[in-house]
Every structure is written in structure tokens, then in C-alpha cells.
Amino acid sequence: MTEGGLFTKRQVVAIYGRISTPETLEGDVVDIAVMAGMQDKETILGMAVVGGLTIGEYLNQQNKQQETSPDQSQRDQAEENQETVTRYMSEGEAEETKRTGEVPNYGKDGKPRPTHVTEDAPTNSASEAQEKYEIEKPTHRVTVPKDRATNVGPAPDGRPTTSGGGSQSATPDPIPVEPNEVQELED
């Protein structure tokens, strides 16, 4: 410490080395560093490195991720609580979904069509989905919160379940999705 109880720049940098989380840095250590005579918070945050990023870059990245994508545990919890709908699809439909940000409500020919969905717990097995839902073997699935699929009603054939035991519904509307919700299936 310097006279008057302030930390030197070297001492503040040494403190950074003992920080276990960036959140700790964001609070107390920034205040200490400011008291040490450093000019501003941005300069302080720019000095320390976490995972190859400065603390400032790391915190900005974390804030952006929290704003743009739902937490994985929230997605898992929603799937477990059956508060979702799932669409099984081909690789071409998956690419179109990623490109547009929506499960399309039109066929390969560009003509409108109902989009079949299920409220069953999702599977990552292409073979299981094929058998359960009486569809061509899918390569991908999209599982989203149920409230994103609007105007969901009976499937066009009127059956609430398939012969494989899968529940089925349909919507005439496109379904908004996040890119990370398009999941490749196994087998």
C-alpha cells in the first residue's frame, strides 16, 4: 500500500491474480482499483484476463449470451415439464429453419402446408421418431416453448395419436426458433 492506504497499480494487478470469478472483479476489486488512483473502470477491466479475454470482454460476452439465448437449464426444464412442441424434420428443412429463423409452414414446392408437431417429450433418436410418428427418417428436430407455436390444432388426418403411439398436432403458422434449437438427431 502507498501512503494514505491506497494500493499501487502493481498491487491491484496482484489482486486480479487471486480473483476466482469475474463477478468478484466487477464489484469490490474495481472499487479498490479506483481507490488506487486508476482512472476509470474500463481501464481496470481491460487489464485482467479470463480465458483469453479481458475481464471487460468476458463480461460483455456473458451479457450478450444471456440476452440472446435462453439458459440451457431453462430449456431442459421446459422440455421435462412437457411445456414444449417438437418438430422432426429433414436436413433441407433444418437448413431452411436455420436460414429463416422459423420452422417453415410451406413445403418443398413453396406451397402452404400445415406443420406437424408433437407435445411428447423429445427424442434424439431418428429411428425412434420415424417409428413413433410415422414419418420419413428425420435428421433433425426443433423443440421450442409451446407458446411459440400458434394456432396449434388437430393434425390434418384428425387422429390425436399415430399408430406408433406419438401425439400429433399441426399449425398453419411458421414457428419462430433460435439457431441453437435446431438439433441434429442420432442414428
Q: Cα dihedral sign for 128, 129, 130, 133?
A: positive
Residue at grid coordinates 476509470: 40
Per-residue pLDDT, 61? 63
Residues 162, 168: contact at Cβ < 8 Å? yes
pLDDT at 106 over 80: yes
Per-residue pLDDT, 66? 57
Alpha helices for 69-125 (secondary structure H):
72-80, 91-100
Q: In which region does residue 112 sit, left (phi positive, over 0), alpha (psi from -120 to 50) or beta (all else)?
A: beta
Q: How many CB atoms lie within 10 A of CB 4?
A: 7
Q: Give the chain's domains with CATH numbers.
A: 3-68 (no CATH), 77-184 (3.20.170)
- Mean pLDDT (whole number) for 111-124: 95
What digits encode the pLDDT tens for the residues 68-89?
555 555 555 545 555 899 999 9
pLDDT at 142 over 50: yes
pLDDT at 100 over 80: yes
What digits encode the pLDDT tens for the residues 26-57?
444 444 444 445 445 555 555 554 445 555 56
Residue 108's pLDDT band, with cuts at 50, 70 and 90, is confident
Element (H, E) at 143: strand 140-145
Q: Between 151 and 32, whose confidence is greater?
A: 151
